[in-house]
Chain A
Amino acid sequence: MSSLLRTPLYETHRRLGARMVEFAGFEMPVQYRGVLAEHAAVRERAGLFDVSHMGQIELEGPAAVATAEHLLTRPVASLAPGRVRYGLLCNAEGGVIDDVTFYRLAPDALLLCVNAANIEKDWRWIARHSPPEAGARNRSDETGLLALQGPLAARVLDRVASPAASALGRWAFARLAVAGRPALVSRTGYTGSDGFELYVASSDLVAVFEALLAEGEPLGLVPVGLGARDTLRLEAAMALYGHELDETTSPFEAGLGRYVKLARGGFIGAEAIARRHAAGETRTLVGFELLVPGIARAEYEVAHGGRTVGRVTSGAPSPTLGKSIGLAYVPPDLAGVGTSLDILIRGRACAARVVETPFVKTTPQPTGTGGQ
């Protein structure tokens, strides 16, 4: 495993008893005590994730906003400093290169947070479409990222953050001191629960992680690995690049049409996305629950009336619901809630039903307005 990259928290993870696995070229914790316990901690209390494998690309300069407007499916100019949005990088055919969050750091500066597996690809794409005046820089190596998620996340963070983080509204961010270290803190996450993401210098990562763990543990916070990160995001029906999304996926078939501002136009892929959308998508991403025991895994076939009609993109037991859930692409006429489907598990047709997503409704949103 010597060729794998490690985050500065590698030794900390080992000390905490993590099982390490390869993910996107990094050696990352998949679990500490157990996926189910970590999942429950995030839904009921709080969990702390090292997601420093994710990438950060900054644009800073007179052409930064115009360049980002050209690259991203959502408007950038209208995003106020202190606010963050979720959006897509698409290719000229309207396929998804990556799904990202982007932060308006200043009138002429943006931060894009990209998937670990796509850092090099995204960086090449962004650099290729950025004039020198956009000041594009790949800051992935020097930036650490923690996610603090769960209903008690704000209470934990307020104990070590100055000024208080709980004033931040959803999709807002601010520069705070966390355990005395500078951190960019946003009220965002990938779990469907309330929470924060904290960008800190790689050299400060261990200190911030340890401080949050020490303050949080008395409240029931636990470290959480990638295993529970996946079951949490699946319950929230959030896409995972490489599963629900790839370069052939159109945003609308993936259910991400609300993150594409077609009327704006002028971004890469806009014409192709509009054309595919007008012609009618050939498949739609749906959520389903299994009606019989078993687990529908990614790549399993979906059948209807004895005919293969689609494929599972993600599937897992939902610890919160006590049901087996998943996401799958199916023809649009089979996407209605309540539609009966069969998932082929080891060749056996297992009954499933299309259900509404998210599978688990998110917690009440914070009312703070910081960053507006």
Chain B
Amino acid sequence: MADYEIPDDLSFTHEDEWVRREGNNLVVGITDFAQQQLGDIVYVELPPVGSTVSKGDPFGVIESVKAVSDLYAPVSGEVVDVNTDLAEHPEAVNEDCYGDGWMIAIAISSEDELESLLDVPAYRQHVDDRSD
């Protein structure tokens, strides 16, 4: 069985995104499980700074050699920062999904929305449920 890194200090979504709170913003990326499932990532499409995203709606696209997948917003709010390096170096998502592979930062508009995020044990269970 493959091993998946799940850092202690993050929260997660059912769609395999991680979020890290930085002040009033949430930094968003995809988890180690997600990047391993996708395989070699060759293209990432992200929204521009200043756009707004809605919780649960697609905010971007990530493509591996074989497949196209949507990225889902973990919360609603304005996009305040975007990792533009991923346009040139999408492989950063494979190499460092919790660091250089971050995707966007969203200004939190509703603290209530954070309550539906998964903590580490809940996310680990969600991964285990799909692993063989």
Are A295 and B39 closer than 8 Å at their CB atoms? no
Contact partner, A227, options B45, B61, B66, Cβ 8 Å: B66
**A79, chain B: closest CB distance, angstroms:** 36
Q: A295 touches which one: B40, B43, B87 (CB < 8 A)?
A: B43
**B39→A293 contact, CB < 8 A:** no
Q: Determine if B68 and A297 form an interchain contact, defined as CB atoms under 8 angstroms apart.
A: yes
- A residues less than 8 Å from B45 (CB atoms): 294
B63 within 8 A of A: yes
A34 touches B39 (CB 8 A): yes
Within 8 Å CB of A19, what residues of B? Answer: 39
Name A24-45 residues within 8 Å CB distance of B. 30-31, 34-37
Q: Does B42 contact A (CB under 8 A)?
A: yes
For chain A, which range describes its interface: under 10, 10 to 19, 20 to 34, or 35 or more residues? Answer: 10 to 19
Complex interface: chain B residues within 8 A of A230 (CB): 66
Given contacts A30-B66, A316-B65, A317-B65, A227 and B39 within 8 Å (CB-CB): yes
> Cβ of B87: which chain A residues have Cβ within 8 Å of it?
293
Q: For A316, list chain B residues within 8 Å (CB).
A: 65
Interface residues of A in 276-325 (CB under 8 A from B): 293-295, 297, 316-317
A294 & B43 in contact (Cβ 8 Å cutoff): yes
Query: Would A35 and B43 be within 8 Å (CB), given that A30-B66, A295-B63, A316-B65 are in contact?
Result: no
**Residues of B1-52 contacting chain A, CB below 8 A:** 39-40, 42-43, 45
Q: How far is the CA of A294 from the CA of B65 in the complex (A)?
A: 11
Residue ID in chain A nearest B66 by CB atoms: A227
Q: Compute how far the CA of A35 lies from the CA of B39 in the bound complex, rounded to whole angstroms.
A: 7
Q: Can you list 9 A-B pairs, Cβ within 8 angstroms, ordered by A?
A: A30-B66, A34-B40, A227-B39, A231-B65, A294-B43, A294-B45, A295-B42, A317-B43, A346-B61
6 additional A-B residue pairs with CB within 8 Å, beyond A34-B39, A35-B40, A316-B65: A30-B66, A35-B64, A36-B42, A295-B42, A295-B63, A295-B68
